[in-house]
């Protein structure tokens, strides 16, 4: 049975080695000029160092270029892809076909992962992008477990599924909150503007707080709870899903290391000893709940169609 990759989004270069020790197989990094909703900002020197560290331990690094690009950034794509080729990135994440076209010209051998986060909802679409050059499809977060398994059965490409962390509910290319404060004649001096935290939308009726942050790619509103299916991996493991992703956005290093270690144990058992996994999966979920921030409960997202945001 194929063992799924454990993919993690680190907050900085110093996370790489501790996460490898905890069991990570691969990482997604990048800078907001090219990538969406990154757990941390990795400039070029950080990308190179992260790749060197990961490769020294036999691990992989994928670089995010999954933003939606306007004309003024098109001329930047080839140069950045050339840089990623030179530092030996293992793959590029893309959603905009402009990246695909630039990669064909600049680095035709570069592995590409199709990642829009919303539109990979059927195997026809995954295979369409596969035939255009993608080697992996990152599935939408809003589809059920049954749909994930069915897509994998028919996919001609690798399949990646998020199994833990925040889900993005809304994105606007506009700096909505920044523009609002400017309209009021106020300077938006909020910690979030620098460190991407401590700003929320409040839903009094449901008692929810939705994390919100703004970056170069606009405004992003995140889910009030964190996805966690550490106790529901077996079906996807048996289906042959290629990669399980832990999204580290708005999380600190200690949390990411602890969660990675739990999923490492879960994946290994699900592959090597399914009966043992069944015995301890509830215990693994309890341990995940113990390290969870008080204001963010865990749920199963849309895997079983229980969550409505």
pTM of structure? 0.88
How far from each other are the two terminal CA atoms of the chain, in whole angstroms?
35
Look at residues 221, 242, 260 and tell me which one is the last residue of a structural domain. Answer: 221
Query: Could you give the count of Cα atoms lying within 13 Å of 137 in the half-sphere of its Cβ?
Result: 27
- H/E/C letters for each residue in 17-37? HHHHHHCCCEEEECCCCCCCC
Please check whether residue 306 lies inside any domain of the structure: no
The strand pairing partners of 165, in sequence order, are 227
Query: Nearest 5 degrees, angle CA 161-CA 223-CA 303?
Result: 40
Please check whether residue 307 lies inside any domain of the structure: no
Domain ranges, residue 154: 5-166+226-299
Please check whether residue 121 lies inside any domain of the structure: yes
**Residues 175, 257 within the same domain:** no
CATH of the domain at 68: 3.20.20.70
Q: What token pair was written down for 12?
A: 């900085």
**Residues 85, 135 within the same domain:** yes
At residue 18, the pLDDT reads: 98
**Residues 150, 184 within the same domain:** no
The interaxial angle of helices 97-106 and 71-86, nearest 10 deg, is: 50
pLDDT tens-digit profile, the chain (309 residues)? 789 999 999 999 999 999 999 999 999 999 999 998 898 999 999 999 999 999 999 999 999 999 989 999 999 999 999 999 999 999 999 999 999 999 999 999 999 999 987 789 999 999 999 999 999 999 998 899 999 999 999 999 999 999 999 887 666 666 555 554 544 454 444 334 444 455 665 556 666 666 777 677 777 676 778 999 999 999 999 999 999 999 998 899 999 999 999 999 999 999 999 999 999 999 999 999 999 988 888 999 889 975 555
**Residues 247, 210 within the same domain:** no
**Residues 202, 84 within the same domain:** no
Spatial neighbors of 250 by CB under 8 A, at least 6 apart, are: 39, 166, 196, 197, 211, 213, 222
**Residues 181, 125 within the same domain:** no
């Amino acid at each position: 049975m194929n063992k799924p990759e454990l993919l993690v989004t680190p907050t900085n270069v110093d996370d790489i080695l501790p996460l490898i020790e905890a069991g990570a197989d691969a990482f997604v990094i990048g800078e907001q000029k090219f990538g969406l909703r990154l757990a941390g900002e990795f400039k070029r020197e950080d990308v190179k160092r992260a790749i060197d560290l990961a490769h020294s331990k036999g691990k992989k690094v994928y670089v995010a270029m999954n933003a939606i690009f306007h004309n003024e950034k098109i001329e930047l794509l080839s140069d950045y892809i050339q840089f990623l080729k030179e530092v030996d990135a293992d793959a590029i994440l893309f959603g905009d076909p402009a990246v695909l076209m630039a990669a064909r010209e600049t680095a035709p051998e570069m592995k590409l992962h199709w990642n829009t986060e919303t539109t990979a909802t059927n195997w026809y679409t995954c295979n369409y992008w596969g035939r255009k050059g993608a080697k992996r499809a990152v599935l939408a977060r809003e589809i059920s477990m049954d749909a994930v398994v069915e897509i994998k059965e028919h996919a001609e490409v690798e399949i990646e599924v998020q199994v833990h962390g925040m889900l993005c509910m809304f994105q606007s290319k506009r700096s909505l909150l920044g523009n609002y404060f400017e309209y009021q004649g106020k300077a938006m001096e909020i910690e979030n503007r620098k460190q991407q935290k401590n700003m929320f939308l409040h839903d009094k009726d449901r008692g929810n707080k939705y994390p919100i942050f703004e970056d170069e790619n606009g405004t992003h509103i995140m889910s009030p709870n964190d996805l966690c299916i550490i106790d529901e991996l077996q079906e996807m493991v048996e289906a042959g899903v290629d990669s399980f992703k832990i999204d580290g956005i708005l999380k600190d290093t200690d949390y990411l290391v602890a969660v990675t270690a739990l999923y490492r144990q879960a994946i290994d058992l699900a592959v090597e000893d399914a009966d043992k996994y069944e015995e301890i999966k509830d215990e693994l979920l309890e341990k995940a709940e113990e390290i969870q921030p008080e204001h963010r409960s865990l749920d199963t997202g849309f895997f079983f169609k229980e969550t409505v945001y």
